[in-house]
Amino acid sequence: MRDASAADVVDFLVHEVFFKFGVPEVIHSDNGRQFISKSFETMVKAFGITHMRTPVYSPQSNAAERVNRTVISGIRAYLENDHREWDAYLPEIEVAIRNAVHSATGVTPFFAVFGQHMYLNGHQYKLARKLRSLSDHAITDLEARDRLAIIRSQVKEHLQKAYERSRQRYDQRARQLLLTPGQEVWRRNFVLSNFGKAFNAKFAKKFVKCRVVRGVGSNAYELEDLQGRSLGVFHSKDIRL
């Protein structure tokens, strides 16, 4: 979206997502202003959606953003080196993303949705049909509904395996932190240097005292300062006892 204001985001989700594909149970977002706005919260409550936000200063919690950053930065670098305009190649970029095999699912996004490969020239179908590669060889002769059921079952299995691999890597270096509402803790102090005020962040406190409001998921907590002002949701990696 060229303009990602709160009103535009709400309108897009309602009319382009909910009314076409159904209402989700959960929406996970970052802490952008549009996602913490009153209109967005009113919308998710009206549709009965649980809204979960990425902990502040923890971009690694948002897998989609990390994937997008990698893909987009690579494409930008390619186009900039070739001195070509970014917007002129957006259609080609979208096609490339839809046809890229995802390491977790094992198939392209287009194949997962439609049960066949995406072709960009009508003459390719004849050759693909001859090679029996319009779809997976083992399921080519099945009905479309049965093909999609098998494909999505395989995707689900691949995603579960990818999740287990990621969980095992995370658990090796993660620490368990069990906190209760009302408990006083120390959170990492995220401050920036300010030349105008002659302030250097290196000399600021590394941690500041605060209070637990509630747990969010299995590894994040909503915090407030000692005066009761909300500080947002923080990942357990940024909290100390």
Alpha carbon 84 to chain centroid, angstroms: 29
- Tokens 């302030």 belong to 199
Backbone phi and psi for residue 180, each to the nearest 5 degrees, phi listed first: -120, 150
Is the same domain home to 67 and 36?
A: no
**Domain boundary residue among 132, 150, 173?**
173
State the Cα torsion 192-198-199-203 to the nearest 10°: 130
What is the Cα gyration radius of the chain? 23
Is the same domain home to 113 and 166?
A: yes
pLDDT band at 168 (very low <50, low <70, confident <90, very high): confident
Our count of domains for the chain comes to 3
Is the same domain home to 215 and 147?
A: no
User: Is residue 179 in a domain?
Assistant: no
Is the same domain home to 141 and 222?
A: no
pLDDT band at 184 (very low <50, low <70, confident <90, very high): very high
User: What confidence score (pLDDT) does residue 212 get?
Assistant: 94
- The string of pLDDT tens digits covering residues 58-90 is 766 655 555 555 566 666 665 566 655 656 666
Q: Is the pLDDT of residue 188 over 60?
A: yes
Tell me the percentage of the chain whose pLDDT exceeds 90.
26
Is the same domain home to 124 and 93?
A: yes
- The string of pLDDT tens digits covering residues 9-67 is 999 999 999 998 899 999 988 888 899 899 999 999 999 999 988 888 776 665 555 55
pTM exceeding the 0.85 threshold for the entire prediction: no
User: Is residue 1 in a domain?
Assistant: no
- Whole domain around residue 226: which residue ranges? 184-240
